[in-house]
A = this chain, B = another copy of it.
Amino acid sequence: MLVPHHSVLKQLPPFARLSEIEITEVLRSAVPRRYPAGSVVFEQGAAALHFSVLLNGRLRVTQVTPTGEQVVVRIVNPGDIFGIARALRLHTYPGTATAVVESLALSWPMEQWEPLVERYPSFAASAIRVIGERLLEAQSRIREISTEVVERRVGHTVLRLVQQSGVREAEGIRIDFPISKQDLAEMAGTTLHTVSRILTAWEHAGLVDTGRQKLMVKDPHRLLLVADGIEPGLLG
């Protein structure tokens, strides 16, 4: 099936307001791409040749500093647009994207971006909203990192994951892709060691359930209280 994406695409906000004909038109220049778990989708510094929509799977976008430390910029969820460097007048990708699980994306050559924005105002409006949401999230993280103590930062990081990538289960909400303590540390702006200690404390208190690359939040409400500083930390 060369065009299984017709209906899928219509679900996504950026394309929701396009007609059947327009979608067919838009799909003409798109190619589906499959990324095995662990593979690199694009690399920091490489020429920005494509922008894409994630159909399913999960990507992790990281940046490395000039001195070699890594930070996780964001997690790309199904439905998200990613790799839009050129819209920001960049010629290279500002970060590296890696598939954390087997993933499928729909990919357009970068030159299609401008026409898409110019021709479909609803696409432009949607793009603004998507980028705007990322901006708000980034600003929240800045506020968190610069004013909050580690335990609360880790709390907010986990809650953000729950909201963006959580699936309800009997015992709580599971983050449905493999995530290491190292990843959490790079999201919260701390170290692997500190994250490990915090999660262990939370596990004893019954807030979460953790394991090798597994994370499940059993008591989101109470975790929120800790993250917001209403309930004191559980360390020590």
A contact residues vs B (CB 8 Å cutoff): 63, 65-67, 69, 71, 73, 84, 87-90, 94, 114, 117-119, 121-122, 124-125, 127-129, 131-136, 138-139, 141-143, 145-148, 186, 188-190, 228-229
Contacts and interface: CB of A to CB of B under 8 A. Distances in A.
B139 A229 contact: no
A132 B189 contact: no
A115 to B, nearest CB: 10
Contacts of A136: 88, 90, 94
Identical chains bound together, number: 2
A71 B129 contact: no
B94 A139 contact: yes
Residue of A118, A134, A148 ringed by the most chain B CB atoms within 10 A? A134
Residue of A63, A73, A128 ringed by the most chain B CB atoms within 10 A? A128
Contact of A131 (B69, B135, B145): B135
Contacts of A89: 129, 132
A89 B128 CA distance: 10
A75 B94 CA distance: 23
